[in-house]
Structure 1
Amino acid sequence: MCLYCALLKHKEHSFTHLKDHSTLVRAEVQGKIEQVKAKADEYRALCYQLQNQLEEEKEAEADIDYQIVDVASKLKEAIISEIDRQKESLRAENRKISAFRQKLLSSEKNEAESKLAYIGSTMEFAEKRLSYGSDYEITVVGSDTKERLETLGAEDVPSIGQMLPRAFNETTEIPSFKLGSVHGEIEACDLKLPCGHPCGDKHLVCRSKTSCLAQIRLKCGHQLGSCYEVGDVDINKMRCSKGHQIFIQLQSERRSPRTVTINDVSLNDSVASMKTRAFKKSDATLSLTLVFAGKTLRDDLTLGDYGIGFQSTLFLHRSTSANA
């Protein structure tokens, strides 16, 4: 049997007996099996470790969930208790205010009723003397009765103003409270990948991704592809084969619209530079205003700031005194 190509007959290679060769192969395979067994033991230990961590995570989730429910129940009871306390406090305050107001009114009412009873008895006495009294009785008590009536008639009736109206101002603001906070959120990894970009993934410790998905753009603004697909390239030395034109339509009231093409445009170019380049392609002398999608563009912003892509058409508005 050939040692190199495993053919039974081969003139160009050296040969050995099949029995000797198979023994050697068996020994090599057995050695590899032992290596793989050791690797399998390592993975078995890793699976056991991960399974334990999974169980711990499930227990932690259930424990924290119980704690959240417990603290929420306690806070709910505290809030309900506070609401009941305020309810009883307001009712007691209402009774106190009403009792004092009613006391004042009752006192005034009793005094007015006493005065009314006195006036009534005085009038009744005078009327009886007039109706049934003899000349002698009128002569004896008339002067005193007249004086009492004059005094009563001259007195002013007390004026009691309307008391402040009773009202209840409802305030049902929900109290501000915080049950707590849950910790353990996996944060986005900020370690640098070999390419220099941050990982950005949420992963277990020491499990950073190996393929960078950051999008690489050329200086012109065109997207080249993801970092792991593009590889280690110098984008400053690369030329883009795509179109880099912006079309600017000159608006004029004297002539029909005319479109000029601005070549070699970068999405980082400012609106002011677009206006300057449009000046050079026309004989306009006054200030211009660029408009895109019905929106007037600011000179200090770039095309990329407005989301303007290549092959887009901008509209240049100017006064009629400029030559079209």
Structure 2
Amino acid sequence: MASSSLLSQISDDFLQCKVCYEPYKTPKVLACLHTFCLECLEQSLEKQRGERSRLFCPTCRTATCLPEGGVTRLKDNFFVESLRDTVDIYRKIHSKHEDVMCNNCAENDSPEAASARCLTCDEFLCPDCVNAHKRVRLTRDHCLVALDTIRASKTEAPLKNAKTPLCEKHDNQVMRFFCTTCRIPVCHDCTVIDHREPEHEYVYLTELVDDTKDVLTELSSLSEGRIHEIKVVQSALAKTSLTLEENKAAVKRQLATATEKLKQRVERKIDKQHKLLLKKLSEIVSSREKELNIHEDFLDTTLASLKSSLDFARKVLSHGNDFAMMDVSKEIEERMTSLLEADLPNVDDVTDQLVHLTFLPSHEPLDSVVIGTIEETRAVPCKKLLPCGHPCDDVHHPNTPCSQRCRSTVNIRVNCCRCGAPIRKPMDDRECWEIRRHQKCFRCAWRHWSLQDRRLQLEMIPELEVIPDDAINNINEFMTSPKIASLSWGSMRVEGGGRYKDCKVWPGGSRAWDWRETGTDHRPGVQPADLEEVLRKGVNTLVIGRGMNEVLQVPQRTIDHVQSQGVECVVLQTERAVDEYNKMAAAGKKVGGVFHSTC
């Protein structure tokens, strides 16, 4: 680890308890290797309900069995304490505001400036004390390192404390042994009292250091390999989940289409049955009406004939003489007799013609109406070749056409649709279908790209075949800091970018500021890790917006981190921060910023 980057690689976050966000006080390490303050762990145990024999990690919820004596008997994290001391020493030595004073002369009225550090005593010494240190028999073998050597060193090795911790059980006893049975460091008295042979085996701690380093190095290497394997599986899992979601959406569309078609078929069938029933109803009613009409016509005719004959007979009897009556009596008698002798339908015959029509709805089950089935088969990637030359590798039914979204990231060959020039795939792991969406070479596409597209494409210039001269000459024009066009509670809009709640901006780009990436909260506030992306863009000034009500904190160590890289740091309320940022951007300065748009 380079000494010049010690503070950037070992941030205060690593040396702070994740419960109280304060520097560790009596750090205790759990089985999951997470470290917390003793007091914080005791409070966490008090909040647990029921079980007291195990302590659940506040971060990952992994259970740690408590030894006899409770939380106080958990293993102390000497590494964190030592690292914290190393960082403090580093800051003191490299501080430009104050000199490092001799610890031995501190009680004097005018202590001398230190010139060296004794790693054995863990103290700073002035030149006189260094000479005295070398003369005294007890300290002449101590490891002394000049401060100039520490400042010029490219490693933190000269800062490491060579002093071995003392045993907690036995006063003034150095833990120079290691019990291989219990796997803990012990002192000489421990080997006689608590870790006696033959029940326990122990060796000098220094004898196991090299072997332990080899074991931990090997385990670290295996862990890195396992992390890579997990990431590969996670990537495959994400791809499988995406494929499953796409498959689900496709089946839902097919189901909706099939359901709609079945509805239309059923509706047509029902309409047909409806028409048939209406036709049958009309036929039945027409048949009965025809029979009734026949009777009605017969009765009407007979009634009219009887009335006519009766009227004629009455007129003959009233107004005719005897001769006239006798002359037509024969015809009258024959006509009226034939009418009276005719068979007439009686009331019962007519009533029998009456029918009662009733509709009987069908109660047959609709089990025969089946939309279809969902069938689950083993997913086998399709190996048909797509027009781009890659295999489909998608999972779909054999009768379903292949998707044109080729997800291959290797051997992508694309030709410009305008000039036919071959276009090499940029090394950004984009998929084939994404590359082939824009089949124009740099020269042909330059004039058609938006400002945001040009910013993105300029990052790919080393991978492109053809680069117009005017594009190189105008690169600085497109790498200026974008203006923040609008700001309101919970919303910011960046020109050429998008709309964000919290955002990061830099010359040539912007993106959302996701606090979850670094575990940022209002307290302790903005972390150096939140600013690294913007600082890497080569800004000269960094503006930090603390929110509308300035609730977001900006620790002094974060400001020191920015200034240590030669960048001016401006911390303001968000509205004033945006105004200041826009003024600098309009003036052409290389300015970046991180802004919080709510409280």
Q: TM-score, normalised by structure 1?
A: 0.48
Q: TM-score, normalised by structure 2?
A: 0.27
Q: Whose RCO is larger (CA < 8 A, sep 6+)?
A: 1
Structure with max Cα Rg: 1
